[in-house]
Amino acid sequence: MKHLLSLDPRNEEEGGWNAVIETPQGSRNKLKLWPEQGAFELSRVLPLGAVFPYDFGFLPSTLAEDGDPVDVLVLMDAPAFPGCLVPVRLIGVIEAEQTEEGETSRNDRLIAVADASHSHRGVQSLDQLGKNVLDEEEHFFISYHAIEGREFKPTGRHGPDRARELVEEAMERYRKKTEQENGKKHGRARAKQAKG
């Protein structure tokens, strides 16, 4: 499962991006990939009547400011399944802050359309979804975080250019973290060899 986190976020063949689905559309169960365990774990169960409006997952080889891969909502015609790799195009981002136990961090939500989608084929930007759809998406995240004692506060809605910019920043963050981790591993290996 660890390889799902380190896949190329770019889909060179399609000219877009790769999303890994964690939680399918319509699910009350929020799933999260735990690579150390090699499995998807049940993270939480949403209250009765609350379900994920679209497939929810992440872009691999990215690191958001909250320390997790960048979150993405994927619009498509039917739910996928946990671990499914979906080629997507970014149509925008809901920028947001999340506060928990007095600590505030960025927790943006990318919005993407599956390349194979028929229903959303013509959607290229957030403004084509309509204000009501975006209001409902924001309300979903505000309400399910509030139930668990966290505040999710949207700070802006932006189109595909801003979404790509945030992904590029997250890719660079991931690259630096990976280089640091690899440097520490090599340092420990050299120290072990020197002792041996």
The secondary structure element, H or E, covering residue 38 is none
Does the domain at 2-195 match CATH 3.90.80.10? Answer given as: yes
Per-residue pLDDT at 37 = 80
**Range 59-78 average pLDDT:** 94
Question: In this predicted model, what pLDDT tens digit does every residue of 5-55 receive, in sequence order?
Answer: 889 999 877 779 999 999 999 999 999 998 778 799 999 999 888 999 999
Question: In this predicted model, what pLDDT tens digit does every residue of 86-120 receive, in sequence order?
Answer: 999 999 999 999 998 899 999 999 999 999 999 99
| Full-model pTM | 0.89
In sequence order, the 6+-apart residues with CB closer than 8 A to the CB of 143 are 50
- In this predicted structure, the answer to whether residue 62 has a pLDDT above a threshold of 70 is yes
What average pLDDT is seen over the chain? 91
CA distances from 120 to 86, 128, 148 (A): 14, 10, 32
Report the relative pairing of strands 109-114 and 85-100 from DSSP bridges.
antiparallel
Nearest to 138 by CA among 124, 125, 152: 152
* Under 8 Å between Cβ of 18 and 76: no
Per-residue pLDDT at 22 = 97
16: β partners: 11
The residue ranking higher by pLDDT, 166 or 189, is 166
